[in-house]
Structure 1
Amino acid sequence: MSYRIRAAGPDDFRAFYDLAKLTGGGFTNLPAEKATLEAKLERSEAGFSRVGENPSDDLYVFMLEDFRTGAIRGTCQIFGAVGTDRPFYSYLISTLTQKSEELGRIFRNQTLNLTTDLEGFSEVGGLFLHPQERAGGLGMLLARSRYLFIKQHRPRFGDSVLAELRGVMDQAGHSPFWDALGGRFFGMTFPEADEFNAVHGTQFIADLFPKSPIYVSMLPESAKAVIGQPHPTGRAALKMLENENFDWDGYVDIFDGGPTVTARTDKIKTVVEGDWLLVGGTNGGGDNTMMLATGVMHDFVCCYSHASQNENGELIIDAEAMEMLGVGPGDRVLAVSR
């Protein structure tokens, strides 16, 4: 398989934009808006170039590249720490219990509480795979490559990581959660609000959203039914996150009600299981498939390889992976089983 993950650069703008146009909307981290995507690539370049070993408001954008043709077939992103330059808002679902002595009943009502609890978390997001490539484990390669990058540059990331999944919307791109809640305060459709957020950020939420809890029972059934539910196309992504030890603790996106899942950084499965191994050579690589990564910052590269270990514990990898990674015998790679 000749696909590899590499750091994005300014020359990737056209491919980045073409991927964004395929998302179908509701994808805040990948809007089909040229100026915003150009700014993302500039911010990513600054993140890869920053000197220092501490969490900061960095963005790292990666590309899935066909090494043989140079074609870009997917992308993903990591944010070093959210909420450092502007508030990072979520709704937290809570339960309010009240008892009426006169009625002899206990009432339990769920509420949505506007919160910035997740500030300082790192974030994985912006994962999108070309519709024609959704087979062969490329989505998993995109997703897990981010955790290898985090492990390799651990001081740059927070103690916890979050992932926001796109919520449920109809074929026209409208969100029943937004229509029942945000749309009533802003007079904007969901596509309009989502586009505004992607370009300008969430400060308008702080300015205009109600700070008091929202009673879920007061929302229409169409909205209640989708709170905490991922878009049908995001169910596989949620499963991959759960396999990496991410959990849902009741946080939902303020726009579409999709779930926000979190994990302790050092408990993420790929981070835990990834190990540095020496490359011993190549002879076809063996029957096992592993994910391998090497390179610091701009030079980060990740790919699949057929691999085995020799009697000295060194990795024997296939020739194509050796070429894509730019490594040879005696070099170290970060390796994890597929």
Structure 2
Amino acid sequence: MLFVRPARLADLDAIAHMARTAQPVLHSLPHDRAALEARIALSEDSFRAEVDFPGEEFYLFVLEDAATGRLVGTSSLIAAAGYAEPFYAFRNDALIHASRELHVNRKIHALQMSHELTGKSRLAGFYIDPSLRGDAAAHLVSRARMMYVAMNRRRFTPDVFTLLLGVTDEAGVSPFWEAVGRKFFGRDFKDIEMASGGRSRTFIAEVMPAYPIYVPLLPESAQRVLGEPDTSALLAYDIHLEEGFEPDRYVDIFDAGPVLTAQVDRTTSVAANESRVVREAVGTSASAAGGASYMVASQRGGEFRCVLTTLPPLPEGGHHHGAPHHAARGVAPLDSAARAALDVQDGDLVRCAPLRRETPETEDQSMGETQ
């Protein structure tokens, strides 16, 4: 069984391998071993710290195969993006150019460098081993972060965002970078990607233009990719939409990739979160009994764990978003592998959220959608 847990210093070798091989580059995982070790140590400190409001905390998660102990994925949470330095993105604006004499009134699409996302919590560092099949593992390692947010609200801001890879060709060349970034930096896209540290570097403000970039003046190839995810980011894009994220008015300053934002209270992992009592699974499986895929998380002993499994639906009126643990209604029948991965026993409490949240508007059509 696959499960998500916080990274440890003992994971350094495996995480270093993922950092070296991940494509696109994981800004949250430096290639330098000493810097990576410091990053993991910061994550361990962040998980242990008593936090009343988000600051410089960084949370690194790993996806572990319980059968082999092998790490096959990673993801991270940044409590406040750009805590030390502003976090930069392009804001999509519409500028009005008008002349009463010529009877001209035109709305022109322009990009303005902005640091308005600074201070908001950010999802980052998503990576899945290419050997894994299917989408279940990707959902687990990505959405476990929001389960952690749901269980630790004070550590994060009311709004959260993520930045996805923009369109690049087979050689890793970004049409938007070639049209804009290269003109100012005079260097390859990958070089600046490595140096940017996740868009929180002073040199970005020093080199990138402070004045608007008029989109109609850009080559068509650059205009076409504005806010579009790369094919390699389509799965992550869909997972975030399923969680409740939406494209916002921002795009990445280097490759024009989409910025997705969400109000934490409206995400599936928070709005549909419920507390259940662990029971040993016996007899007919939950799947055969009309169950559904659920994220199930625990913090027994203070360490976060999360798995993806099948649970039966709660009785009508059984949802208790925000309810205290003693108010749990309903059970979570878990097999021995799931209980071991979560480090829970019969009678313990776990937090559960459905992989898909049905709404009156989407219930009838959900069977035809792709997770």
1:292 alignment counterpart: 296
1:129 alignment counterpart: 128
Q: Is the 8 A contact 2:300 2:343 kept in 1?
A: no
Cα separation, 2, equivalents of 1:46 and 1:292: 24
Per the TM alignment, residue 21 of structure 1 is displaced from its structure 2 partner at its CA by 2.8
2:185 alignment counterpart: 186
Residues 274/195 of structure 1: CA separation in 2 closer, same or farther (3 Å cut): same
| Residue segments in structure 2 that go unaligned for 5+ positions in a row | 316-328, 356-371
Per the TM alignment, residue 222 of structure 1 is displaced from its structure 2 partner at its CA by 1.9
Cα separation, 1, equivalents of 2:300 and 2:95: 48
Residues 80/177 of structure 1: CA separation in 2 closer, same or farther (3 Å cut): same
1:43 alignment counterpart: 42
Residues 115/42 of structure 1: CA separation in 2 closer, same or farther (3 Å cut): same
2:168 alignment counterpart: 169
Number of residue equivalences? 337
Cα separation, 2, equivalents of 1:296 and 1:184: 53
Q: Is the 8 A contact 1:309 1:316 kept in 2?
A: no
1:305 alignment counterpart: 309
What are the residue-to-residue correspondences of 1:105-144 with 2, within 5 Å? 105-144=104-143
| Residue segments in structure 1 that go unaligned for 5+ positions in a row | none
1:321 alignment counterpart: 338
1:330 to 347, 352, 356: 347
Amino acid at match of 1:85: A
1:203 alignment counterpart: 202
Could you tell which deviates more after superposition, 95-104 or 146-155?
95-104
Aligned Cα RMSD in Å?
2.1
Cα separation, 2, equivalents of 1:218 and 1:318: 59
What are the residue-to-residue correspondences of 1:85-96 with 2, within 5 Å? 85-96=84-95
Cα separation, 2, equivalents of 1:308 and 1:248: 32
2:13 alignment counterpart: 14
Per the TM alignment, residue 103 of structure 1 is displaced from its structure 2 partner at its CA by 3.4
Q: Could you tell me the TM-score, scaled by structure 1's length?
A: 0.93
Q: Is the 8 A contact 1:48 1:297 kept in 2?
A: no
SS at match of 1:147: helix
Amino acid at match of 1:292: V
SS at match of 2:85: coil
Q: Could you tell me the TM-score, scaled by structure 2's length?
A: 0.85
Residues 143/297 of structure 1: CA separation in 2 closer, same or farther (3 Å cut): farther
Cα separation, 2, equivalents of 1:174 and 1:208: 20
